[in-house]
Each structure stands twice: as C-alpha cells, then as structure tokens.
Chain A
Amino acid sequence: MLIPIPRANRAPLSLSLPETAVPAGVSLATIAITRFAWPNPGEIVGTLTTEFSFDNGATWPWVDMFQVGGGVITRNGLEVTESSKSFTIPPQSGSSPRQVRGSVVTTAPLDFGGRIEIV
C-alpha cells in the first residue's frame, strides 16, 4: 500500500497520531520525506515518534523515533533530497491485534512531500 503525502509548505506543527490497528500481515512500513530548501542547518527540525502495541493497546513496548535535521544535507558530495526511515513491525502474537500510535513535531516551517509505504 502506498500513501502519498502531498507537497506543501507547512508551518511548525505538533500532531498526535491516534491509536490505529495495524493490518494483519503487515511487517514493514517506510516513511520517506522529500526535502525542499529546509531552514536551520544542523538543527533537528522534525521528530516523528511511533509506538507499537502487541496487546491491543494495553502496553506500548516498541518505540521508534525519527529525527531530521534542517538545511541542505549531503552524502558523498551529493545532496540528500529525501529523508526516510523504515519500521520493521514484529508479527502479531496470538489473537491480540497490533496497534500503532505516535506524534509528529516540527519546529520550523518546512516545505515537504513524501510517501508512506506499507508491505
């Protein structure tokens, strides 16, 4: 499943992502953010935190954090135009559904688009 994130110039934001069931069979999710002239080089300008539950939301033992820096970033002399992160999601244990929740915080205006891929 591919979920596009439309490009837009977004003001600083703080969002909570509500508890959502992870579809059966899903084992990997990837989020990729396309960067367009971001400000604040060297500083962390965006943080995505995700938590996973394997007992239908009773406990949240699996936490991932994804932090992205501002400015133009390079690797091997080339501009990095996309920041991405994968989530390897452990399989369902017994009959308890898996859940995911999280938050997104950005601290500067950011022009970005991107995609979420779930397999």
Chain B
Amino acid sequence: MASNWVRQGGSGKNLLTGAASPLAIAYSPTAGRFLVTTGSVVDNGAGSTTVTVSDNIDTSGANWVVQQSPASGSGARKSWIAYKRNCESGITTVNCKFSNGSTQFFAIGEVSEYTGATTLGTIVDFTDLQTGTNTAVICSGTPSQDNCLLIMSTSADDSSASGAWASNAPWTTLAEEADTGTQTAHKSAYLVQGTAALESETMSYDVGNVPHLAAMMAFRDSSNDTPIGTSASVNNNDASMASVFIMPGAGFIPLLRKSGTALQRIIEQAMGLKSNINSTKTWW
C-alpha cells in the first residue's frame, strides 16, 4: 500500500538577520492540513534559547508541538521541527519565537503543509535529536510502520567561512542556506518512505571544524487507519442492522446512525455510561 503523504505546498525559505524574535513566516495553509515548520537559529551570544511556535489563530501555540536539537556552540545554535495536526482555518502567519531576549537572532525557517496524516492515535513514530562532528551530522531511525513522512532539520556553524551543503537525494529540500560567514547555515528536507526501514541520513556542510546539529522526526500516515474487526451487530426495532467497528487507538465508531433502544444500550454500555432504555432522547 502506497503512502498517503503528499506535500501540498510551502512557504519557501525565510531568513531573519540580526533582529529580535520572532521569525514571522507568511503562509496561508488549507484548513485541516498537517503543518510542519523547520528551521535553525543562533543568536549573538545571549545564551540558551528555547524555540516555541504559534500562529495568528493559535496565538498561544497550544496546538503546536516543537522538538529541538541540542544546543551547540556560541550563540546556542539549534535546529527545530514543529508540527500541528488538523490546522485551523485562517492561518496566515506562523511565528517561530526564541526565548532568551536577544535582539540579534539569525534564523532560517520554512512552513510546509501535507495531506495524508493519520487521524488516529499518535502521529509521531520517532524523534532523533543529534549533535554531530565538525563536518557532518547523522540522524537515524526505523519507523514502526510503513509509509512514514520523515523530516530532518540541520544547522552548521558557518561563522568562520562559507561552504555548501552536500546533496541529500532522494530527500527533497525544504529550505537550504549555505551562507557567507555572517549567518547560520541551515538545511531541511523531507522523505516519504515506503516500506519501513532504517533511515540513516548524513547532512554534511563542507567547512571544516564547525559544529553540526540536527533533528529528525518520522510521522505516520493514514494508510494504517483501517478497521481491525466488528465488535457487535444489532437487530434493532425496525430490523435495520447496525455495526460498531473498533478502530486502533480510537475506541469505536458507529457506522449506521439511528435512534433506538437496543443499539443505544449497547453503545452506552460500551462507553461505560448508564443505559436508560425508556429515554426518548435521540442520540443521532
């Protein structure tokens, strides 16, 4: 079965040079999509930085989940991956915020949107956060399910010299900045995997003796969102049949909507609710 993940669009690269937080990325996704932002940040030496993400609808960022690499080197360099399931209508700006109060952040980020996310249970299959050597960083993991979306976000310190990122085919680049010595070098990319297998990806920036760091995450698609069995069938008052399917991680979902005492009782019992067969309440 093929993966259901499809990248539907993205903001392209946004770069903030020597200014206060946030990195505001203008992008208007379609409601309901799976949103991801990746990026890297370094400041001018103010200290440890925590990355948080919000948008103009979800202003507190309550529906965003952020993973960030370990900090490395001067300026607390970090890369992040943040995601939001089932995004709200009306989003026009995603704000990537950095906590330490510096007024001189150097940050690169992008937003992209996808269809095909699992609608059941947890969406994150694995997360790998790494610091690397002075020439490269490697993230790796084996998804527990087929058809995962893998995203990697990487940074390298290019404050001493400029360089270039090596190719990461067959990964597709989301944003890449190989810069000139005054900002942070960043690369992020994605890969839709078929059969689950070990993915070990090297991000290499060809300037010697510079710290690298990275984050990789794997996200589950909806191809595994299939019923695993029928738990009950009911002959109701008018002889209609109703079935209740068990979905992995989601309890049960009645497929035939109707009112009636027998079906209502089974549903209530399954949910642990008190049954009242004399009720005139219509449930569906």
Contacts and interface: CB of A to CB of B under 8 A. Distances in A.
A84 B19 contact: no
11 contacts: A30-B180, A63-B11, A65-B12, A65-B13, A67-B17, A67-B19, A69-B20, A71-B18, A75-B159, A76-B44, A83-B183
Contact of B183 (A61, A71, A84): A84
Contacts of B83: none
B221 interface: no
Interface residues of A, number: 29
Nearest to A49: B26
Interface string B17-50: 1111000011000000000000000101100000
Given A74-B44, A76-B74, A88-B173, A68 B178 contact: no
Nearest to B102: A42
B182 A82 contact: yes
Contacts of A70: 19
Contacts, number: 92
Interface in A51-95: 61-71, 73-77, 80, 82-86, 88
Contact of A32 (B13, B173, B180): B180
Contacts of A12: none
B9 interface: yes
Contacts of A41: 103
Contacts of A42: 19-20, 103-104
Interface of A is mostly: strand
A30 to B, nearest CB: 7
B14 interface: yes
Nearest to A42: B103
Interface of A: 30, 32, 41-44, 61-71, 73-77, 80, 82-86, 88
Interface in B59-101: 74-75
Given A43-B19, A69-B20, A88-B176, A74 B14 contact: no
Given A80-B182, A84-B183, A85-B177, A66 B17 contact: yes
Contacts of B210: none
B182 A67 contact: no
A7 B25 CA distance: 30
B177 A68 contact: no
